Amino acid sequence: MRLRRWIKRVGAITGTVALGALLGFLIPTILAEYAPPPPEHASGPAMAVNQSTELPIARDYINAFVVNDQARLKELGAREIDTVKANDLQSQVRSIGRPVLLGSVGGPGISIQAYAADATMADGTKTVLSWRVWTTSGRAILILPPQPLGTNP
């Protein structure tokens, strides 16, 4: 009887310590994750002089795609569907501007760059076209925007 009571007390103490350690780890971790980043000062050694998020391979790829440079696309390792889409784009537009980087997102070994360009279509209408370039391990792949939803349910 005394042994059971002693085991219960030790178990309760161990459980309380384990729960306290778990909460002591989780609460500061969650607070650090959702806290706003500290403000960066304009001066100091930590600030980089030129911090560009655009990858050169993505810029080369989208430039070759827009002007339908088949040789350059092949050189960059483009998929066949991307070269066909470049041909389709050339036949659909009268003129197209230089693609502008809208933003990028990336992680270790992978990056997605978003681009847009002003275009004049073959029928004379002006529009903005957009593309995404997915880069992984030094290879670029074009991601076309999704098709617009139809008006019929």
Q: Do 89 and 136 sit in the same domain of this protein?
A: yes
Does the pLDDT at position 7 exceed 80? yes
Q: Do 29 and 94 sit in the same domain of this protein?
A: no
Does the pLDDT at position 10 exceed 70? yes
Residue partners of 69: CB distance under 8 A and separation at least 6: 63, 86
Rounded to an integer, the average pLDDT of 88-109 is 88
Rounded to an integer, the average pLDDT of 38-55 is 55
Domain membership flag for residue 19: yes
Q: What's the number of domains the chain is made of?
A: 2
Residue-range definition of the domain harbouring residue 105: 56-143
Is the whole model's pTM more than 0.85, yes or no? no
Q: Do 14 and 67 sit in the same domain of this protein?
A: no
Q: Do 18 and 63 sit in the same domain of this protein?
A: no
Does the pLDDT at position 59 exceed 50? yes
Task: Check residue 45 and give its pLDDT.
Answer: 45
Task: Check residue 106 and give its pLDDT.
Answer: 81
pLDDT tens string 72-86: 999 988 889 988 999
Q: Do 61 and 134 sit in the same domain of this protein?
A: yes
- Report the chain's mean pLDDT, rounded to a whole number: 83
Domain membership flag for residue 151: no
Query: If pLDDT is split at 50, 70 and 90, which confidence band does 149 have?
Result: low
Tell whether the torsion through CA atoms of 58, 60, 62 and 68 is positive or negative.
negative
Strand 100-107 to 126-136 pairing: unpaired
Query: If pLDDT is split at 50, 70 and 90, which confidence band does 48 have?
Result: very low
Domain membership flag for residue 152: no
Residue partners of 131: CB distance under 8 A and separation at least 6: 62, 65, 99, 114, 115, 116, 142, 143, 144, 145
Q: Do 61 and 104 sit in the same domain of this protein?
A: yes
Domain membership flag for residue 74: yes
pLDDT tens string 13-45: 999 999 888 888 888 888 888 887 776 655 444
